[in-house]
Amino acid sequence: MNILVTGSSGFLGKNLCLTLKQKDFNVLPFDRDTNIPLSELVPQADFVMHLAGVNRPKDTSEFYQGNAGLTEQLIGLMKLQSKHIPLLISSSIQAELDNDYGKSKKEAEDAVFEYGRDTGNPVFVFRLENAFGKWSRPNYNSVVSTFCYNVANDIPLTIRDQKAEVTFVYVDDIVDAFISCIGKEGNDDYCHVKPVYPCTLGHLADTIQSFRDSRKTLLVPDMSGELETKLYATYLSYLKEDEFSYSLVSHSDNRGSFTELVKSSDRGQVSINIIKPGITKGNHWHHTKNEKFIVVSGTCTIRFRKIGETEIISYTAYGERPEVVDIPTGYTHNIENTGDTDAAVVMWCSEIFDPEHPDTFAEQV
């Protein structure tokens, strides 16, 4: 199936075109830089997804030319075809407002509904909330993209009203909703993408700033909600290309090194322990704190002794055959590098280390 996508290089268009191609649709892209005119593309189309539009022109007349005018031109070309061509248009909740942008989008919507009535072809008019996601242009498409760009580039945020609430919708959900219309009958009512996420500007700013700060605190960003998960994915797409990586603090001595990797307030922390050959680390036990050891390189022997008893239990773990060794409470334990090369051990601990309450008691195995 050939899908004509107008505005194909824009924020929504780029995301949509890539997903359509992944689903094996043939995409006919069109934007202001396309060399092939609409008059040649429309006859090839089996479905038209009209995303092109103008929202920040130099002159208000461009609203009507780029929104209503282009839509009417597209529809005129579609009516000349002697085949069934469904039409989907991305509009905006601002079409309800009495401003030039809103009025131009409303004219475009009305033209699409009229096309459906005149031809009997399916039409889908989506009134979108404030869209966000990767490749959205800062200071143009969305406050989310502006905040993400500013925070990633250490530019201060300007917020007039921290309590102002805005409703957002994620680009992947928009794309899924658009693609789901293929093969369906249209309707004479507006389509809306779900889910939507109401959020105050203050919470939005705090959340995005916490993503930046997580590199210093090592705390895994709070992604307990769908909005936070999608915001974090969006924020990462705005990182400077020379700042994808960040350094960690490594504590080294003649025994090896210990480096904390990530932490979570309710899931503990993950660290990497490098152990030199012949070196033993540990010889302590915990009341409540528990750990998991995974040898990922080298060979280590992990030994346990239940507190108050004499029997010693040992496990040998190999990097070429990774396995998880649980460290139960009430057992003093150590880990020895019994190989010939440095050993690397990934360690998960059930809680972030608290020097005031370490729950760690020295005792030889």
Paired with 125 in beta bridges are: 89, 190
pLDDT at 56 over 70: no
**Are residues 195 and 295 both part of a single domain?**
no
| CA-to-CA dists, residue 93 to 109, 114, 337, angstroms | 11, 20, 63
Backbone angles phi, psi at 184, to 5 degrees: -100, 160
Query: 153 in a domain, yes or no?
Result: yes
- Let me know if 170 is a catalytic residue: no
What pLDDT is stored for residue 33 in this prediction? 83
197 has a pLDDT exceeding 80? yes
Confidence of residue 357 (pLDDT cuts 50, 70, 90): very high
- Tell which of 205, 237, 268 closes a domain: 205
| Of 359, 364, 350, 341, nearest in space to 282 by CA | 364
pLDDT in tens, 215-264: 999 999 988 899 999 999 999 999 999 999 999 999 999 999 999 999 99
Q: Domain for residue 319, yes or no? A: yes
Q: Is residue 67 part of a domain?
A: yes
In a domain, 223, yes or no: no
272 phi and psi, to 5 degrees?
-120, 130
Residue with more model confidence, 46 or 83: 46
Cα–Cα dist 363/284, whole Å: 5
Q: Do both 168 and 254 map to the same domain?
A: no
Judgement on whether residues 91 and 181 belong to the same structural domain of the protein:
yes
pLDDT digits (tens, 9 = 90+) for 152-162: 999 999 999 99
CATH code of residue 304:
2.60.120.10
Is 40 in the same domain as 141?
yes
Same domain? For 68 and 143 the reply is: yes
- Domains contained in the chain, number: 2
**What's the mean pLDDT in 103-113?**
88
- Mean pLDDT confidence for 84-112: 86
pTM attached to this predicted model: 0.89
The mean pLDDT value of the chain amounts to 93
Report the CATH number at residue 141: 3.40.50.720
In the set 64, 101, 170, 235, the catalytic residue is 101
For helices 143-152 and 201-217, give the axis angle rounded to 10 degrees: 30
User: Which of 205, 238, 268 is the last residue before a domain boundary?
Assistant: 205
Cα 60 to Cα 241: distance, rounded to the nearest angstrom: 36
If you average pLDDT over residues 155-179, what whole number do you get? 96
Pair 165, 276 in one domain: no
pLDDT attached to residue 141: 74
Same domain for 193 and 260: no
- What is the percent of the chain where pLDDT is above 70? 97
Tokens of 213: 């700060």
Amino acid, res. 219: L
Q: Render pLDDT for 286-321 as a digit per residue (tens, 0 to 9).
A: 999 999 999 999 999 999 999 999 999 999 999 999
Q: Hey, which residues does 28 pair with through a beta bridge?
A: 4
Residue 198 lies in a domain: yes
Residue 224 maps to a domain: no
In-domain check, residue 302: yes
In this prediction, residue 82 carries a pLDDT of 83
Average pLDDT over residues 106-112: 90
pLDDT of residue 54: 62
Do 184 and 89 sit in the same domain of this protein? yes
| Last residue in a domain, options 190, 205, 220 | 205
Is the residue at 356 inside a domain?
yes
Instruction: Based on the fold, state whether residues 256 and 184 are members of the same structural domain.
Output: no
Let me know whether 198 and 257 are in one domain: no
Helix (H, G, I), strand (E, B) or coil at 363: coil
Are residues 12 and 160 both part of a single domain? yes
pLDDT digits (tens, 9 = 90+) for 198-222: 999 999 999 999 999 999 999 999 8
> What pLDDT shows up at residue 57?
61
pLDDT at residue 85, as a whole number:
95
Q: Return the closest-CA partner of residue 75 out of 33, 28, 107, 35.
A: 107
- pLDDT greater than 80 at residue 100: no
The whole domain housing 199 covers: 2-205
Specify whether 145 is located in the same domain as 18: yes
